[in-house]
């Protein structure tokens, strides 16, 4: 092999090795396209462009394509030398398909040089990098579809809680974390009971993604069935724990139950490894409820105990998942103290409490999903 050819082969192998490390570092379509374009400019071209066409939506509409350019983009406007799908040609501008090994078309790649053409080895590097990027783009597309399915499922489930007794006014919100993180198993629920009582529920299945959302639905269905027996909250948790523990594939979950009895002006609490709720008084001050905490659901250990406290007509209960308060590197007690230190406008109802708490704790930039549920006794009209 001539010395020049030998050096070209070594350069090609080195480029292929770096391509594997530098393209597809994150499962995001825009990131993959940018990494491909930047790699090609570093290795073989003065300019590179990646034209990626996402998969069209299933129900109407059009998908917005991704176009990423690196280097001296004006060079890409020069005429293409040779047919667009001929991977062995050389020229000032080279155009290759962005296609997976399975034949799935993702778009095209364009590279250009200010002077001279592309050797066979350089063309092979471009083709290899394009195929590698196409594989990563396919993975990103499938991940996005999985995330969308999980998110739609969770939003549909959380958006349709059961109906509490009409003597309660409620408000709830679910905020998923950033779009590149799979949704989790956060949820809330309300169950109407006999004698004017209602059961308020918030839970968090461990983990993220479609499996967590499916498990969340299973917990929610089981809870509705057990709660229909009208047991005290701690006994509902005991039965739910026993039912879930029988399924070894079910993920553990934390859960908080509050049975509200407006006729007796009381609330009965029971917790399975969940953070305590907050009570906002009429003056807008907040108080964390001190209650015993049992193990998460799904362990089969049981050990749940009730706690009862008086509930004034103007008190607003706030149940939430840990994403509302937890911050990276911060002790959870500090996080809870921040919530308890809030002072809301006097007389705030459930909707105002939810909106103010989410805003003041900057929940829309939280590092985990956030689910909150607020409830207050509904005022009866004066006769």
Residue-wise pLDDT for 260-274, tens only, equals: 999 999 999 999 999
Q: What is the pLDDT of residue 163?
A: 73
Q: What is the pLDDT of residue 3?
A: 55
Please say if the pLDDT value at position 344 is more than 50: yes
Please say if the pLDDT value at position 180 is more than 60: no
Residue-wise pLDDT for 87-129, tens only, equals: 445 447 889 999 888 888 888 999 998 887 888 888 889 999 9
Residue-wise pLDDT for 309-326, tens only, equals: 999 999 999 999 999 999
DSSP per-residue letters across 134-180: HHHHHHHHHHHHHHHHHHHHHHHHHTSPPP--TTEEEEEEEE---TT
How far from chain centre, in Å, is Cα 241? 26
Q: What is the pLDDT of residue 103?
A: 84
Mean pLDDT of all residues in 204-220? 79
When the pLDDT of each residue in the chain is averaged and rounded to a whole number, the result is 83
Residues near 294 by beta carbon (within 8 Å), at least 6 away in sequence: 234, 237, 270, 271, 272, 273, 301, 302, 303, 304, 305
To the nearest 10 degrees (0 to 180), the angle between helices 3-22 and 29-43 is 160
Among 32-46, 207-221, 347-361, top mean pLDDT goes to 347-361
pLDDT band, residue 175 (cuts 50/70/90)? confident
Stated pTM of the model: 0.65
Top pLDDT among 128 and 79 is at: 128
């Amino acid at each position: 092999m001539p010395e020049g050819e030998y050096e070209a082969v070594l350069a090609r192998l080195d480029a292929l090795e770096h391509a594997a490390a530098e393209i597809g570092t994150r499962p995001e379509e825009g990131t993959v396209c940018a990494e491909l374009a930047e790699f090609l400019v570093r290795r073989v071209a003065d300019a590179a462009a990646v034209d990626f066409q996402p998969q069209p939506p299933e129900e109407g509409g059009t998908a917005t394509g991704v176009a990423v350019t690196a280097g001296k983009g004006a060079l890409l406007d020069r005429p293409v030398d040779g047919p667009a799908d001929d991977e062995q040609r050389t020229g000032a501008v080279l155009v290759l398909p962005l296609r997976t090994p399975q034949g799935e078309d993702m778009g095209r790649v364009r590279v250009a040089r200010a002077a001279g053409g592309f050797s066979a080895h350089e063309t092979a590097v471009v083709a290899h990098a394009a195929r590698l990027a196409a594989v990563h783009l396919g993975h990103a597309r499938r991940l996005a579809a999985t995330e969308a399915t999980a998110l739609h499922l969770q939003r549909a489930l959380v958006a349709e809680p059961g109906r509490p007794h009409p003597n309660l006014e409620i408000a709830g919100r679910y905020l998923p974390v950033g779009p590149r993180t799979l949704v989790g198993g956060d949820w809330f629920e309300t169950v109407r009971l006999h004698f004017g009582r209602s059961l308020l529920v918030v839970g968090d299945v461990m983990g993220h993604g479609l499996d967590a959302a499916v498990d969340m639905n299973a917990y929610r269905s089981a809870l509705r069935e057990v709660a229909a027996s009208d047991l005290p909250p701690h006994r509902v948790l005991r039965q739910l724990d026993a039912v879930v523990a029988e399924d070894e594939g079910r993920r553990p979950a934390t859960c908080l139950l509050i049975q509200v009895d407006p006729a007796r002006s009381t609330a009965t609490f029971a917790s399975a490894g969940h953070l305590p709720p907050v009570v906002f008084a009429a003056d807008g001050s907040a108080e964390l409820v001190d209650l015993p905490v049992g193990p998460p659901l799904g362990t089969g250990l049981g050990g749940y105990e009730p706690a009862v406290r008086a509930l004034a007509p103007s008190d607003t209960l706030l149940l939430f998942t840990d994403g509302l308060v937890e911050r990276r590197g911060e002790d959870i007690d500090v996080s809870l103290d921040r919530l308890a230190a809030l002072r809301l406008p006097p007389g705030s109802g459930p909707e105002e409490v939810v909106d103010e708490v989410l805003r003041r704790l900057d929940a829309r930039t939280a590092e985990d999903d956030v689910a909150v549920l607020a409830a207050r006794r509904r005022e009866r009209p004066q006769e």
